[in-house]
Chains A and B, each alone.
Chain A
Amino acid sequence: MRGGITWGDGVLAVGLALCTLGSFFGMQYFNLSGSTVIVELKDLVVYKSDLTENRKITVRGDYGDVRIQVNEGRVAVVHADCPNKVCVRTGWRSLAGDVVICVPNRVLIRIVGEQTKHIRGITG
């Protein structure tokens, strides 16, 4: 058997390196959107779904209904029976780590994905 690097080794090495770099930087910089939406009522998970599945969810809290819409990878509270409607005014959220919250009804909507395994915070 001959020693040294063959042409095949080179192709394999470059391929592996590209895959590694691609997945690393892809995770870091390009794929920020979440993949799953989790709805919690009073700290208990009441709903979990793929963020790409369009649907409408209604959760009943202490002040009444909280209507949630999942649409094209985004989620928003479209109606809430609560005094201040901060959750409705929050608008659409799509980033992994994002949350929408209805404090009076204690409804928490979280977006999670591979990115939430990374060290990341969202400000604003």
Chain B
Amino acid sequence: MKPFLLWVTIAVSFTSCSRDEIRPHSRQSTAMETYVSVTTYDGNLSQHDAYALIDSAFAEINRIEHVMTDYSESSEIGTINRLAGKDTVEVSDEVVSLLQASLSFSQQSAGAFDVSIGAIVKAWDFLSSEPEVPSRSKIRMVLRLTGFKNVMVEGTKVFLTEKGMRLDLGGIAKGYAVDRAVEILKRNGVQHAIVDIGGNLGVWWEGTRGVDSTVAEILVRHPRKDGKYFGSLKVGTAGVSTSGDYQRYFFHDGVRYHHIIDPATGYPARDVVSVTIIASDALNADALSTLVFVLGREKGMNFIKDREGVEGIIVWEKEGVLHHELSPGLQGKFTRSDD
């Protein structure tokens, strides 16, 4: 074979081989009130080993759900809520650690992120078959039961100072579970994986980091078009999360009421329609996407810019047209799709 043709043939073969080597093993199921997908991409992992590890990751996610859910009165969070205003509850180090991380986000954002928002979330009840706008008096009442300064954590003891207060870890627990699942895979030698809990993504790719790497393509869902995507970017090891007003919502008198509530007002935050955060891990991405959404466009972008290793996309709507702003580290790395 002539030399030039030989090189062309080798190049074509190499391109084909590199795609085959990905060898994904994936499993999907349900947990934490949403879908869960765990995928490994290790070429040297046997099918049996890959699925055994994926099952271990699922077991960890289910364990965390059991501990953190506020739907069950017997979970650790459920017990704290049940005994609010009455008694101190001894909890695990894991719950303490997550609560402390949550309270830290609350302090950094002057309460834009607040895990004591449970009473407000319950008043809106976005998961009911026919959600309604709560009355103003109801909102005023539940606002009095909201405030991160009334969450007391001392050692492993937790106390909510007001009867009727409720913790809701919906803005952080999925990200935490993603990180734990990734950790299980990582500790067992998996080098490449993506864990997805309801759009909260954990990308683990050994030797890569954040938006400086281009291993995994991330599609950002379109806030206003079902089944379409708004744009895409590429990342290496990172946590990616999006909070959007299109995820859980209803219309009343032509107004969209969505599930991302401003703890200061008790009503849905209105300034933006979606926030995507890329951070070092999924816990940070999850919490920060909610936090930045509540802060709004200007304050939210400043919050992102002030944090090293955090990048974000803020999308807002003006007169029916979507606009977006990228944090400095994402400039030239996000490709918007044709609307």
Chain A complexes with chain B = yes
**Residues 46-99 of A contacting B (Cβ, < 8 Å):** 74, 76, 83-86, 89, 91-95, 97-99
Q: Check A9 against B29 for contact (C-beta < 8 Å).
A: no
Beta-carbon nearest neighbor of A107 in chain B: B30
For B241-271 the 0/1 string (1 means CB < 8 A from A) is: 1101001110000000000000000000000
* B105 adjacent to chain A (CB < 8 Å): no
B29-76 contacts to A, CB under 8 A, are 29-30, 33-35, 37, 41
CB <8 Å contact, A12 and B217:
no
B97 at the interface (CB under 8 A from A): no
Interface of A, secondary structure class, is mixed
Select from chain A the residue with minimum beta-carbon distance to B199.
A123
B127 touches A (CB below 8 Å)? yes
A91 touching B242 in the complex, CB below 8 Å, given contacts A9-B4, A108-B30, A108-B35: no
Q: Considering the chains assembled together, what is the distance between the CA atoms of A85 and B130 in angstroms? A: 9
CB of B199 within 8 A of CB of A16, answer no
Known: A20-B11, A108-B28, A124-B223. A3 touches B218 (CB 8 A): no
User: B81 within 8 Å of A by Cβ?
Assistant: no
Name the CB-closest residue of A to B219. A122
Is there an interface contact between A83 and B30, defined as CB atoms closer than 8 Å? no
Quick check: is B188 within 8 A (CB to CB) of the other chain?
no
On chain A, the residues within 8 Å of B26 by CB distance are 116
Chain A residues whose C-beta falls within 8 Å of the C-beta of B24 in the assembled complex: 116-117, 119
Residues facing A in B92-107 (CB within 8 A) are: none
- Are A20 and B15 in contact, with the CB atoms below 8 A? yes
Question: What are the residues of chain A within 8 A of B28 when measuring CB–CB?
Answer: 40, 99, 108, 110
CA distance A92 to B227 in the complex (A): 5
Q: Residues 212-252 of chain B: 1 if any A CB is under 8 Å from the residue's CB, otherwise 0?
A: 00011111111100111110000000001110100111000
B220 lies within 8 A of A123 (CB): yes
A9 CB, nearest partner CB in chain B, Å: 6
Closest to B125 in A: A84
Q: Which residues of B does A touch, CB under 8 Å?
A: 2, 4-5, 8-9, 11-12, 15, 19, 22, 24, 26, 28-30, 33-35, 37, 41, 127-129, 192, 194, 196, 199-201, 203, 215-223, 226-230, 240-242, 244, 247-249, 274, 276
Assuming A103-B34, A123-B200, what are 10 further A-B pairs, CB within 8 angstroms?
A93-B226, A95-B219, A99-B35, A116-B24, A119-B22, A119-B192, A121-B240, A123-B201, A123-B276, A124-B242
Give 24 CB contacts A-B under 8 Å.
A5-B2, A13-B4, A17-B8, A83-B127, A83-B128, A84-B127, A91-B226, A91-B227, A94-B228, A95-B229, A99-B28, A101-B34, A106-B30, A118-B19, A118-B217, A119-B22, A119-B192, A120-B216, A120-B218, A123-B199, A123-B221, A123-B276, A124-B230, A124-B276
